[in-house]
Structure 1
Amino acid sequence: MKKFSFLFVFACLILACNNDDDTIDSCNKATNILAENITTTDATISWSDPNNAASYFIEYGVSGFTIGSGTIIIASDTTTELQNLSAETTYDVYIQAVCNTDNLSMYSDVYSFTTATLPVIPEFRQNLSELNLFSGNLGDLQPSPFAFNYDLNSKLFTDYAIKQRLIALPEGEKMTFNGDGFPMFPDNTVIAKTFYYNNNETDLSQGKNIIETRLLIKINGSWELGNYKWNAAQTDATLDVDGAVVPVTWVNTEGESQSIDYEIPSSTDCFTCHSNNSQTTPIGPKLRTLNFNVNGSNQLQTLIDNNMLDGLSDPSTVGVLPNWEDTSLGLERRARAYMDINCAHCHIEGGFCAEESNLRLAFETAYEESNIYQKRNSIEARIQNTIPQYGMPLIGTTIVHDEGVALLLDYLSSLE
Structure 2
Amino acid sequence: MMALRGVAFLCALLMLAGCRREEAGVRFFPEGQPKSLGEWHVLKVDGGRLSLNDGVVPYDLNTPLFSDYAHKLRTIWIPKGKAARYDAQRSFDFPVGTIISKTFYYPLPGDGKWDGTSVARTSTGNDLQGGSLDLSRVRLIETRLLVRREAGWDAMPYVWNEAQTEAVLKRAGALLSLELVAADGSREAANYQVPDQNQCASCHATDNKTRALHPIGLKARHINRDFAYSGGSENQLAHLSRVGYLVGAPAAEQAPRNADWKDAAHAKLEDRARAYLDVNCGHCHSQTGPAITSGMWLDAAVSDRLKLGFCKQPVAAGKGTGNRLFDIAPGHADASVLVFRMDSDDPSVMMPELGRSVVHREGVQLVSDWIDAQKGTCDF
Into which bin does the TM-score normalised by the smaller protein fall? 0.7 to 0.9
The structure richer in strand per residue is 1
Q: Give the deviation of 1:341 after TM superposition.
A: 0.5
2:213 alignment counterpart: 280
Q: Following TM superposition, by how much is the alpha carbon of 1:201 offset from its aligned partner in structure 2, in angstroms?
A: 6.8
Moved more, 212-221 or 247-256: 247-256
What 5-or-longer segments of structure 2 have no aligned partner? 113-133, 312-326, 329-335
AA paired with 2:271? R
Partner of 1:267: 197
CA distance in 1, matches of 2:240, 2:192: 33
**What corresponds to 1:119 in structure 2?**
26
User: Which whole-Å CA distance do the structure 1 matches of 2:84 and 2:47 have between them?
Assistant: 27
**Conservation of the 8 A alpha-carbon contact between 2:227 and 2:234:** yes
**Whole-Å Cα distance in 1 between the matches of residues 353 and 137 of structure 2?**
31
1:119-198 equivalent positions in 2, closer than 5 A: 119-122=26-29, 124-137=33-46, 140-198=49-107
Match of 2:368 in 1: 409
Q: CA deviation at 1:367?
A: 4.0
| 1:368 Cα offset (Å) | 2.4
Distance 1:180 1:347 in 2: 16
SS in structure 1 at match of 2:178: strand
Distance 2:353 2:8 in 1: 71
Q: Which moved more, 1:159-168 or 1:312-321?
A: 312-321
Residue identity matched to 2:109: N
SS in 2 for 1:141: strand
Q: CA deviation at 1:75?
A: 2.1
Letter in 2 for 1:223: W
Offset at residue 273 of structure 1 (A): 1.1
Equivalent in 245, 250, 253 of residue 308 of structure 1: 245
Q: Distance in 1 between matches of 2:213 and 2:17?
A: 40
Residue 389 (structure 1) aligned with residue 298 (structure 2): no
- Alpha-carbon distance in 2 for matches of 1:254, 1:165: 29
What residue ranges of structure 1 are gaps of 5+ in the alignment? Answer: 1-53, 58-72, 90-114
Q: Write the distance in 1 (CA, Å) between the matches of 2:283 and 2:149.
A: 22
Which structure 2 residues correspond to residues 372-387 of structure 1 after superposition, within 5 A? 372-374=309-311, 375-376=327-328, 377-387=336-346
Distance in 1 separating the partners of 2:195 and 2:175 = 9
Q: Which residue of 1 aligns with 2:144?
A: 214
- Specify which structure has the bigger relative contact order, considering alpha-carbon pairs within 8 angstroms and separated by 6 or more residues: 2
1:363 corresponds to 2:308? no
Change (3 A) 1:249 1:207: farther
Going from structure 1 to structure 2, the CA distance change for 1:299 and 1:202 (only over 3 Å counts) comes to farther
SS of structure 1 residue aligned to 2:88: coil
Q: Secondary structure at the match of 2:221?
A: helix
1:50-108, Cα deviation, whole Å (9 max, x unpaired)? xxxx8659xxxxxxxxxxxxxxx71279977624338777xxxxxxxxxxxxxxxxxxx
* Contact persistence 1:120–1:168 (CA under 8 A): no
1:324 corresponds to 2:261:
yes
Between 74-83 and 320-329, report the one with greater CA deviation.
Answer: 74-83
3-state SS of 1:324 partner: coil
Whole-Å separation in 2 of the counterparts to 1:409 and 1:352 = 25
| Residues 83 and 247, structure 2, Cα contact 8 Å, conserved in 1 | yes
CA contact (8 A) 2:73 2:102 kept: yes
Number of matched residues?
322
Q: 1:346: how far off?
A: 0.8
Q: SS of 1:75's equivalent?
A: helix
Which secondary structure state, in structure 1, belongs to the residue aligned with residue 16 of structure 2?
A: coil
Residue 405 (structure 1) shift: 0.2
Tell me, yes or no, if the aligned pair for 2:61 and 2:217 is still in contact at 8 Å: yes
- 1:228 paired with 2:158, answer yes
The alpha-carbon deviation at position 371 of structure 1 amounts to 3.2
TM-score of the aligned structures, taking structure 1 as reference length? 0.71
Partner of 1:34: none
Q: Which whole-Å CA distance do the structure 2 matches of 1:78 and 1:387 have between them? A: 66
**Structural RMSD (CA):** 2.6
Shift of 1:166: 0.8
- Given the superposition, is the C-alpha separation of residues 301 and 201 from structure 1 closer, same or farther in structure 2, using an over 3 Å criterion? farther
Q: What SS is found at the alignment partner of 1:398?
A: coil
Give the secondary-structure state (helix, strand or coil) at the position aligned to 1:195. strand
- For residues 361-394 of structure 1, the C-alpha deviation after alignment (integer angstroms, 9 at most, x for no partner) is 0112104253321211211211111111321111
User: Residues 248 and 78 from structure 1, CA distance in 2 versus in 1: closer, same or farther, beyond 3 angstroms?
Assistant: closer
Q: Paired residue for 1:342, among 274, 280, 296?
A: 280
**Contact 2:285/2:299, CA 8 A, preserved across alignment:** yes
Question: 1:395 Cα deviation (Å)?
Answer: 0.9
Q: 1:153: Cα distance to partner?
A: 0.7
Does the Cα contact within 8 Å between 2:50 and 2:135 map onto a contact in 1? no
Asked if 2 retains the 8 angstrom alpha-carbon contact of 1:129 and 1:138, the reply is no
Contact map agreement 2:178 2:192 (CA 8 A) in 1: yes
Alignment deviations for residues 218-261 of structure 1 (CA, whole Å, 9 cap, x no partner)? 11151111111111111111111211111123544445455422
Q: 1:125-151 CA deviation, whole Å, 9 max, x = no partner? A: 111110111135397331111211110
Shift in Å at residue 267 of structure 1? 1.5
Distance 1:266 1:399 in 2: 19
Distance in 1, matches of 2:165 and 2:179, equals 19
Runs of 4+ in 1 over 6 A off after TM superposition: 76-80, 86-89
Show the 5 A alignment for 1:14-93.
56=3, 74-75=6-7, 82-85=14-17
Give the distance between the partners of 2:26 and 2:258, measured in 1 at CA. Answer: 32
Alignment match, 1:399: 358
- The structure with the larger Rg is 1
- Shift in alpha-carbon separation, 1:300–1:253, aligned structure 2, 3 A: farther
**Equivalent-residue separation in structure 1 for 2:147 and 2:237 (angstroms):** 21
**Which is further off, 245-254 or 376-385?**
245-254
